[in-house]
A and B are shown apart, each in its own frame.
Chain A
Amino acid sequence: MKGPVEFTLNGAPQRLSVELQRPLLEVLREELDLTGTKFGCGEGQCRACTVLVDGKPTRSCITDVSEIRGSKVVTIEGLAPDGRLHRVQEAFIKEEAMQCGYCVPGMVLTVAALLERNALPSEAELVEALNGNLCRCCGYTNILKAARRAAQAEEVQP
């Protein structure tokens, strides 16, 4: 069934008329050309499709677009809106926390959301928060380094 869906996308109001059972992932990628959000599995097992819905990491491949009505959605494109990188993105670049990089948008958003609610996560908390995100290149060490670097960058902020 088609219907209107209104939500806030990367800070701007968005109104779409789409099939309500379409996965949010496909609406972002196919209607809005936001291809930074990736398809990895379609069953919520790899979190390449992670977006933030009201600040919470959300698997857009198993979220119907109707479920995000009235919500604030942030995709990887919305993290650096004016070209100024988010500290998590900077940390990923600095630590080269990417090989093929396909998992990186999901990883970056997951870390960014974690640091919002827990400014200085312990090692165990980091692993726990990221454990749902797959990196098939298995570059996990550098991703953890990047997360730590981002956390420390946050610490020194006023």
Chain B
Amino acid sequence: MNRTMLEFPEPERYELREGPYYHFEISRRAFGQLLGAGLLLSIPVSRALAQRSGRGGPQTLAQRLHIGVEGDITVLTGKVEVGQGSRTELTQAAAEELCVSVERIRLVMADSDVVPNDGGTAGSRTTPSTVPSVRQGCAAARQLLLQTAAERFKADASTLSVRDGQVQGLGANQNFGYTDLAGEEEAFKRNVPRNVELTPTPSWKVMGTHVPKVGSREIATGAHRYPSDIRRPGMLYAAVLRPPSYGATLESIDLAPARAHPGVTAVHDGDFVGCAGPTSLEARNAVDAAGKTAVWKETTHRSSDTLFEDLRAAAGQRNRENTRGNPAEALEKGHRVLRATYHVPYIQHAPMEPRAAVAEWDGDRLTVWTGTQQPDRVRGELARAFQMPEARVRLIVPDTGGGFGGRHTGEAALEAARLAREAGRPVSLRWTREAEFTWAYFRPAGVMDLEGALDAEGKLTGWTHVNFNSGASALETPYAVPHVRTGFKNCDQPLRSGSYRALAATANTFAREAFMDELAAAQGADPLEFRLRHLENDRMRAVLEAAAAAFDWKGQWKAPAGPQTTGIGLSCGTEKGSYTACCARVRVDRDAGTYRVTDVCQAFECGAIVNPGNLQAQVEGCLIQGLGAVLREEIRFRDGRVLGARFSRYEVPRFRDVPAMKIVLVNRPDLPSVGGSETPIIGIAPAVANAMAHAVQVRLRALPLRDATWKAAGSDPNGG
């Protein structure tokens, strides 16, 4: 479960990679042209770009672009759209370099029969890796168009340009555009230069602008088919029998009661039991009937009641440590030394669309539609599970109902394919919400120990930050401290854990930024001034100052004389090459023990902004999603069961929770663009925790910051 994935340069231990989910015993049996007439442009990808995309070596041929005989332009990418805006952004990238309108481009995403391998959709890599790769391919096509036109009309290529897909600068009555290129077979056999010139940022016409979301009409009319909406002729609907608890193994089961349901196919293969029938209801009834005969052997499983003690005790040997200077000595000699421990629980992605797949066999070929952020990996899993070459598996990822890092696996694809194999008909499987809450994976819980030493002038001299279990992202402090030790301890943990939007950067930023406030409070300093005193990075300073100015921090901050009904707090952080700073205001009801986050102001910078509208939406979405983990979200478990595996018990943010929000997007056209759908989530938790400490004079160090906990903590200076 905890094998490290080497695909990403970031220390993302939790980019979940594990062995096959199922070992099917299935016996091995003997087991189009999609784009239409036209030409497929294969673009050699430069070594530098291939390395930047984190795949470790040069990609030889990436088939990126298809120009149909009608002049229709199809751009191909292995990336997926799960709500983060990759479809619009990649369409913009292609339109920019091809010099055509956005409407002219059809972007085919994640259909393994036609798209190049662009790696998984994770780690905010689409913007820094795939956008340049698509641009390079499309810029090469533009250059090809210009060269071919120059040869055809004996013109000087350097005097020609492209507008709306047509070559400009030719003689009167001389027209040449992508439509004409489609007839030029010879042109496509030409070697395309490896490093064509991309349109420089100041000349962007499509990138950098607010291009409306591509595909929004299909979504608003209900016409878009998500993975769970795919329908195939003769398709059956499936249900799967889930174990009663984690670690339970199936001793025996009788499928006869399931098979007694008309039209139902039942499968028991290893740990897998499922049924497919003409309706979902039939499939559920059949699974329930078989389930009544199941004999399970359950096992003991740790409870969330003792989670944090257990994690600390279960710290393994695979530790990572970084030391600079002599932090031990700095702590020993510090004028003032603080120590604190912070906790984050397991939480769930809970995308609106649960895991789903449709599988269809055609002889020895398998086609699966499913929602995953790792299509190539899932395709490989399918090939291994059914002992067939990957070339005979076609995996398609329709734009999917939410991801947030929670779709790196392909359980539903395997299950649907196994049932379809048996039924000899296409099968649709959509997980229940309970299954999603229990058998998907979680953002890992964590324990964080921090120590800080201040000198007599209030400058940080020593710093340690050790994370148990939740990950190493954003573990390094952005503040200038001479003596630092950071560590990440790998723990044997009770739940299956994996990636999550910004992953451990959220936990580590929560701990660090809350602790920074404790250090500021210890000397009565303004938290903003205390941070700026220790910040040398210009980009970090810029967003912090931008957020503070927009929030009017300086006009509002007062060191509290005692408990108040409102409080303000701030935080800042950096992850995956982008920078964020967040200010929050809370209002507390001291009698009821409740609080409300009333205002949030966040500044965010991720280089040159590709689409300000989408970026704004991502920042707002991150803030509210992050607020869920501040207010209420927590997976609790006992006896191998998730307690409250439902939206009625696991309460994600709703409209009523939304505070007034002010977003400041800091554009840096002078810098390369990096992703903006993850990092904006990391600042909200510490900003709110700091605002609560400001208001009630109690420091809460464990997420979620539940109502009444600060009241219960009373005047205990160590708080929660």
Contacts and interface: CB of A to CB of B under 8 A. Distances in A.
Nearest to A30: B279
A127 B216 CA distance: 23
Contacts of A40: 352-354, 433, 647
Contacts of B652: 134, 136
Interface stretch (A52-60, A90-98, A113-121): A90-98
The main secondary structure of chain A at its interface with chain B is loop
Nearest to B654: A131
Interface in B275-307: 279-281
Max chain B Cβ within 10 angstroms of own Cβ: one of A76, A80, A99, A127: A99
A136 B351 contact: yes
A96 B221 contact: no
A134 B646 contact: no
Given A39-B228, A48-B352, A99 B656 contact: no
Nearest to A108: B220
B432 A42 contact: yes
Max chain A Cβ within 10 angstroms of own Cβ: one of B85, B403, B620: B620
Contacts of A92: 216, 220
Contacts of B350: 136
B237 A76 contact: no
Max chain A Cβ within 10 angstroms of own Cβ: one of B83, B222, B351, B613: B222
Nearest to A92: B220
Contact of A139 (B215, B228, B280, B621): B621
B219 A104 contact: yes
Interface string A95-109: 010111111110010
Interface residues on B, range: 35 or more
B620 A138 contact: yes
B40 interface: no
A149 interface: no
A131 B652 CA distance: 12
Interface in B131-172: none
Interface in B216-267: 216-217, 219-226, 228-229, 231, 237
Interface in B20-70: none
B624 A140 contact: yes
A100 B661 contact: no
Contacts of B224: 101
B399 interface: yes
Contacts of A89: 220-221
A85 B222 CA distance: 12
A38 B655 contact: no
Contact of A93 (B82, B220, B226): B220
B284 to A, nearest CB: 10
B84 A99 contact: yes
B480 interface: no
Contacts of A138: 620-625, 628, 653
Max chain B Cβ within 10 angstroms of own Cβ: one of A26, A41, A80, A138: A138
B648 interface: yes
B213 interface: yes
Nearest to B428: A30
Interface residues on A, range: 35 or more
Contacts of A41: 433, 646-647
A103 B620 contact: no
A126 B621 CA distance: 19
B658 interface: yes
B400 interface: yes
A32 to B, nearest CB: 11
A77 B430 CA distance: 22
A127 B652 CA distance: 16
Interface in B608-650: 613-614, 617-618, 620-625, 628, 646-648
B401 interface: yes
A144 interface: yes
B617 A99 contact: yes
Max chain B Cβ within 10 angstroms of own Cβ: one of A79, A133, A139: A139
A76 B221 contact: yes
B222 A43 contact: no
B612 to A, nearest CB: 12
A99 B85 contact: yes
Contacts of B352: 38, 40, 46, 48, 100, 102-103, 134-137
Contacts of A39: 228, 354, 430
Nearest to A40: B352
A36 B217 CA distance: 12
A77 B221 contact: yes
Given A98-B213, A101-B83, A134 B280 contact: no
Contacts of B399: 100-101
Interface string B203-214: 000000000110
Contacts of A96: 212-213, 216, 613-614, 617
A45 B222 contact: no
Contacts of B607: none
B54 to A, nearest CB: 25
Interface string A117-158: 000000000010011111111111111100000000000000
Contacts of A100: 82-83, 351-353, 399-403
B395 to A, nearest CB: 19
A26 B279 contact: yes
B643 to A, nearest CB: 16
B440 to A, nearest CB: 13
Interface of B: 82-85, 212-213, 215-217, 219-226, 228-229, 231, 237, 279-281, 349-354, 399-404, 430, 432-433, 613-614, 617-618, 620-625, 628, 646-648, 652-656, 658, 661
Given A98-B220, A101-B224, A136-B402, 10 more contacts: A33-B231, A39-B354, A43-B648, A80-B221, A85-B221, A89-B221, A93-B217, A101-B83, A134-B352, A136-B350
Interface of A: 19, 21-23, 26, 29-30, 33-43, 45-46, 48, 75-77, 79-80, 85, 89, 92-93, 96, 98-105, 108, 127, 130-144
What 9 pairs across the A-B complex have the smallest Cβ distances? A36-B222, A100-B83, A102-B401, A138-B624, A76-B222, A101-B219, A35-B229, A99-B83, A45-B647
15 contacts: A19-B279, A35-B226, A38-B352, A38-B353, A41-B433, A45-B648, A77-B221, A89-B220, A93-B217, A99-B85, A99-B618, A100-B352, A134-B647, A138-B624, A138-B628
